[in-house]
Structure 1
Amino acid sequence: MEKIRLGRTDLEVSRICLGTMTFGEQNSESDAHSQLDLALARGIDFIDTAEMYPVMPSAATQGSTERFIGTWLKKSGMRDKVVLATKAAGPNPNTHWIRGGKQNFDEANLRAAVETSLQRLQTDYIDLYQLHWPSRNVPIFGATAFEPQKERASVAIEDTLAALGKLVDEGKIRHIGVSNESCWGVCEFIKQAETKGLPRIATIQNLYNLTARHFETSLLDETCFREDVSLLAYSPLAFGQLTAKYHDNPKAHGRLTIFPPTWSPRYLRPSVLLAVAQYTQLARDNGLTPTQLALAWCYSRPFVASTIIGATTLAQLEENIAAYTVRLPQHVLEAVDAIHASLPNPGQ
């Protein structure tokens, strides 16, 4: 497994990252431990989680994912063999059970979030600490346009960085990153860090897959290239749509059928289903599984530092990892771009 350095840090991670948001909902603790064992055996040393996980979020399960990883770290003794990333939840009235509904990125909230994550993870430091979504109003999670009328009070980026700086100084976190961020947000984080002598973001964890290529055209690609901010691509299989399991059987068991459709409506748009049908046909016409096409394409993008994969079975995880060795012919890459040109970013 190839490795890559994140941003301007000393963190070197595998080009595949194990996503864990199914741990505690779709996967039991023993399932989680088996996935972690398999990932490590296949050369994956990068693990991503969040205080909010598992999904879909609920008060009953919140924190279970970190707890399952923590029991694995304690049992396996592998803490020094992995790069551990987690995330702090931003403001959201629908997750009011997190930190008493006061979740945000001020010093008190970030300290509480870090300390509870450390307890659940059974470790004394986090390698990469990320802000799960912005404190301010920004179009995310399927929103397609910025809406000024939705402006809300938010924590200044300078204040957030100052709070994170204290946690870095205390050794509780090593490096920081953002998630679901915009071009303006990345630029502001860099500006405040450099002008105020505060910690510099190393990564951005944003949506990126065959149905959602906005990163390439939203100025984020150039910004992150010039500012040395590494992309961690999440949802490379579009919540399972790009595996074609729902294309083949709309009632297939998975998060798009077991969770309410209101939770992830962007992956149920007619344009997404049309795009999935075309990518599925392209894959099968070229002797590939749809999963291989979607992941091999994402793995091959030069600006993707590490691709975050998730699975609910070990067989799925094996296929997802094995796709790293697949090299797509030029005519397939050109066909992918042709489909994208006809159906641009339906899952964004």
Structure 2
Amino acid sequence: MFTRKLGNTDLDVTRLCLGTMTWGEQNTEAEAHAQMDCAVAAGINFFDTAEMYPVPPKGETQGRTEQYIGSWFARSGKREQVILATKIAGPGDWMTHIRNGPQLTPEHVNAAIDTSLQRLQTDYVDLYQVHWPARSTNFFGKLGYIHDHDEETTALEETLEALVGLIRQGKIRHYGLSNETAWGTMKVIQIADQHGWPRPVSVQNPYNLLNRSYEIGMAEVSMRENVGLLAYSPMAFGVLSGKYLNGAMPENARITLFERFSRYQGAQAEEAVRQYAEVAADIGLSPAVLALAFVTQQDFVTSNIIGATTLSQLEENIASADVVLDAETIERIEGIHKVISNPCP
């Protein structure tokens, strides 16, 4: 399993990262442990989670994912073999079950990390990420930006100072951003440089064949500022596997189970998926492996976050690490993208 440096750190993370957001909802603790066993055996050294997981987020399950990882660490004794990333939730009136509504103030930052560390049964996390900004901006599928002139929010400087404090306390080694824009990323870097604080080492945003909006602005930031992408939803909630084509609704699949996951649906998306599946078939790959390989081989991607609900899915996802798409295949992909550009931002 090839590795890449995590930003300007001394950490070498595998090009595939094990995503965990189904654990505690679609996956049991035993299944989560089996996935971690499988991933580590295959050479993956990078896990990503969040305090709000599993999804869909709700009070009765919140925190289970971190708990499952913690119990695996206790059972396996493999904490030091894993580069562990988790996230603090940003503000949102749909998250009142977390600290009566999470904020990115120093008080919330400190409370969030302490609770995560307890669930994870560890003294530190390697990468602590701001799950989404405190300010109102265009993330979670919003393409256009609408400015709120009256917005009152936690200042970026205040949140960063709290994160730097966690580094000094040894509770986290590095911090990163998530669901962030080019302006937000550059502003964080500017503030960090002004104060002589550590810079963010990564940005975790969506990136897949149906949503390549990261390439517009953010890819250049990643390359020039050494703040690489941790790509989430590389399979577009499983849509890019082709399993939902022609109106199919597979049993126990995420979109079948939860209506809220409609981001990667629609006529344009379905047509794009159909065409990408044809490319995959022509070169002897599954649509899933084609989709994952495309993401992994981008220069601005530090690691590709794969998620699965079954071991067979996970094994197929892991196998994609050995696939490099040739120039002819990339040209065909670009041809589809030119006609059906970012149907699901």
2:224 counterpart residue number: 226
2:134 counterpart residue number: 135
Return 5+ residue gaps in structure 2 as ranges: none
| Rounded Cα–Cα distance in structure 1 between residues aligned with 2:338 and 2:4 | 30
Please report how far the alpha carbon of residue 11 of structure 1 lies from its aligned counterpart in structure 2 after TM superposition. 1.6
**Stretches (4+) displaced over 6 A:** none
Give the SS at the match of 2:201: strand
1:257 counterpart residue number: 256
For 1:230-264, what per-residue CA distance to the aligned partner results, in whole angstroms no more than 9, with x for missing partners? 1101100000000001116621131111002xx23
Please report how far the alpha carbon of residue 270 of structure 1 lies from its aligned counterpart in structure 2 after TM superposition. 1.9
Aligned partners of 1:137 and 1:151 also within 8 Å: no
Give the SS at the match of 2:229: strand
Matched residue count: 344
2:187 counterpart residue number: 188
For 1:54-105, what per-residue CA distance to the aligned partner results, in whole angstroms no more than 9, with x for missing partners? 011111100000000000001100011110000000001111101111x111
Aligned partners of 1:137 and 1:150 also within 8 Å: no
Aligned partners of 1:136 and 1:151 also within 8 Å: no
Q: Is residue 14 from structure 1 mapped to residue 14 from structure 2 by the alignment? A: yes
User: In the alignment, residue 197 of structure 1 is paired with which amino acid?
Assistant: G
| Rounded Cα–Cα distance in structure 1 between residues aligned with 2:244 and 2:43 | 30
User: In the alignment, residue 77 of structure 2 is paired with which amino acid?
Assistant: G
2:303 counterpart residue number: 306
What is the correspondence of 1:1-348 to structure 2 with a 5 Å cutoff? Answer: 1-101=1-101, 103-149=102-148, 152-217=151-216, 219-247=217-245, 250-253=248-251, 254-260=253-259, 263-348=260-345
Return 5+ residue gaps in structure 1 as ranges: none
| Rounded Cα–Cα distance in structure 1 between residues aligned with 2:117 and 2:324 | 39
Higher mean C-alpha deviation, range 150-159 or range 57-66: 150-159
| Rounded Cα–Cα distance in structure 1 between residues aligned with 2:49 and 2:300 | 22
Give the SS at the match of 2:237: helix
Aligned partners of 1:161 and 1:199 also within 8 Å: no
Aligned partners of 1:139 and 1:146 also within 8 Å: yes
For 1:148-200, what per-residue CA distance to the aligned partner results, in whole angstroms no more than 9, with x for missing partners? 14863211111111111111111111100000000000100000000012231
| Rounded Cα–Cα distance in structure 2 between residues aligned with 1:150 and 1:95 | 24
User: In the alignment, residue 180 of structure 1 is paired with which amino acid?
Assistant: N
Aligned partners of 2:254 and 2:261 also within 8 Å: no
More helix by share: 1
Higher mean C-alpha deviation, range 44-53 or range 143-152: 143-152
Give the SS at the match of 2:244: helix
Aligned partners of 1:2 and 1:15 also within 8 Å: yes
| Rounded Cα–Cα distance in structure 2 between residues aligned with 1:164 and 1:343 | 40
The alignment's C-alpha RMSD in Å is: 1.1
